[in-house]
Every structure is written in C-alpha cells, then in structure tokens.
Amino acid sequence: MTNPSAAPATLAGDTDAAGAVAGVFVRDPFRIEGPACISFSGGRSSGYMLWRILQAHGGTLPKNVVVMFANTGKEMPETLVFVDKCSKRWSVPVTWVEYRNAEKPSDRWRVVTFETASRNGEPFASSIGAKSFLPNPVMRFCTSELKVKAMHRYLIATHGWEEWVSVIGIRADEPRRVARISAPDKDRDERVAPLAMAGVTVHDVGAFWASQVFDLGLPNMNGKTMHGNCDLCFLKGADQILSLIREKPERAIWWMEQEKRLIGKSRTPASATFRSDRPSYAAMHRYATEQYEMFAFDDEPIQDCMCVD
C-alpha cells in the first residue's frame, strides 16, 4: 500500500461498538471500512466471520464492502448450498466468480450464480489445460488462478479498485495460516483475519453453528470438515483422501482424468501428477475400491490455503 491519497480499507471501531478496557481504546476487528472484499470460502469459519461482520454493521454492509465466493467447480455440493443459504438467510449479496480461460489475463474471470455455477470441475480443468501441468503443493495455481486472481480481476474490472483489504476467515488457532497471510505480498490487497484478531477458535465456530437453524451439510469432526471444500484436494492427507474415495468412489474420476490427460504432455513426469510424494489418484482409487492394504502415510493435511474453512 503505497498511495496515501487512495487510502485502503482499515479495521475500525468506536466506543459504542468496541468500548474501552482500563481506559485503553479497543477496536472491533469485525468493523470493516471499504474498499474491502470479504472472501467467503464456503466453510463454517468464513461463514461465522461473515455473520460477525454483519452484526458489527447492524446487519447491512457498507456499500464498498463486498462478499465474494470463488468457485473452482470441485467444491462439495454442500458447500455451494451453504453459501447460497447464508446469502439468502442473512440478506447479504454474495458475488460468485469463476476462472475462465482467456487470452488477456484481465479477462480470466466470469460471474456466475448458485444456479449457473460449474459443478464438474470445468474452471479447474480449463486452468490445467492452459498451464499444461498440474498444480502441486509448491505451485498451487489452483488457489492463485481460480480464487485469488479471479476475485482480484473482478474487483479491478467492475469496481475500479486499485487497493483494498481482503478479509479472510482464518482463526486464532491457525498460527501457520495467520503468519502466511501476514507476510509481505506484491498483490494489490492487504489481507486481514478478524477471527484471529478476536481470538476466535474452532470451538467458538462449532458452538455458533450448533446454535443455528441451518449449517454446512458436511460432517463436523471436532470442528474440522474432512470433506470440504474441494472434494479430493491434493492438500488433504492421503489417508483422508482414501477415506473419501471409499465413501464415494466416483469422486476420484475427475482427478484421475486430469492426471491421465497430462501424461506425455507435461514438461516433466512429476508435473503430470498432483503429488510426487505419494501414489496417483488412479492408484489410490484402486487401493480404496479393491480394499488393498496400502502402507500408512504420515503426511498431514496442508491447511495454509484459502480453500479451507
């Protein structure tokens, strides 16, 4: 943020909303001034964050604060339903965007709705075709192209914003992710995590949704959602992926197809797989459906990605 004449959004508060403690002014991290983009991943944490921000603003967001959901086409169906429910029940507009292949990078986005959103991985597959290699834990272009840049390009093209704050649903009990978004970045946005700033943990999020009349329709396992958001994301642990394939074997088909289409076409053999440190999706599908005993993996899910929660 280098242009003082175009001041970016800031976290703000006042004595009515935030109060004071021992004579020290306390700012409410959920009071957001624009221009700002609330990144709604479709998970419980970001849903709770959106609710807290709405409450801090009396139920209506400022005009230059927008809520966005970036759809890759591989989100769980329940995720899409949840985003739509939050929007309708809380009367808050949510802009849905998807990546689309285009010659000009600035045109690589399109607006969709709950009804028109891709559900068979089309945006994801299109980005893979354009790159001619698969994303992996080191080069996660699925996150950068399908989510971050798609939202940024929309904001620049439709709102004309030059700088803004991206509000992300990372909790206080996720220090690695907090550190990641706090690192210096060359993008136009300044990233903030009001849940972390407010000390909100997974237990607080779980308690909130347990008290609501609707919830994300995916299993809640001690506050963790093993199924969400991208159905067999390569950032998930291998044992987790095997479990999800056993539950619904057809989940693996799209991932198998992407690896198959890149064999012999990618620059290196490693770039034709999502992970070089474990078996392909085809192999895991075989292990899962034929009930083979596969050696145990000790890899942990990689969670410092904006696709989760």
CA distance 48 to 137: 28
288 lies in a domain? no
> Bridge partners of 11?
32
CA distance 210 to 187: 37
Kindly state the DSSP code that residue 168 receives in the 8-state scheme.
E
257 lies in a domain? no
Q: Is the pLDDT of residue 21 over 60?
A: no
CA distance 32 to 9: 7
Q: What is the pLDDT of residue 174?
A: 92
| More confident of the two residues 66 and 20 | 66
198 three-state secondary structure: coil
Q: What is the pLDDT of residues 144-175, one digit of tens each?
A: 999 999 999 999 999 999 999 999 999 999 99
CA distance 15 to 101: 48
100 lies in a domain? yes
Chain mean pLDDT for the chain? 86
By residue range, what is the domain housing residue 205?
4-210
Question: CA 261 → CA 40, 109, 152, 257, distances in Å?
Answer: 31, 24, 29, 6
The H or E element spanning position 83 is: helix 77-89
> Bridge partners of 110?
98
CA distance 142 to 166: 18
216 lies in a domain? no
Q: Are the C-beta atoms of 173 and 202 separated by less than 8 Å? A: yes
- Considering its fold, how many domains does the chain have in total? 1
CATH of the domain at 72: 3.40.50
Q: What is the pLDDT of residue 296?
A: 52
Q: What is the pLDDT of residues 69-93, one digit of tens each?
A: 999 999 999 999 999 999 999 999 9
Q: What is the pLDDT of residue 305?
A: 55
163 lies in a domain? yes
Q: What is the pLDDT of residue 292?
A: 65
Q: What is the pLDDT of residues 30-73, one digit of tens each?
A: 999 989 999 999 999 999 999 999 999 999 999 999 999 999 99
Q: Is the pLDDT of residue 205 over 70?
A: yes
160 lies in a domain? yes
242 lies in a domain? no
133 lies in a domain? yes
Cis amide leading into 35 (omega within 30): yes
218: alpha, beta or left, given left = phi > 0 and alpha = psi -120 to 50? beta
| More confident of the two residues 187 and 279 | 279
CA distance 163 to 190: 8
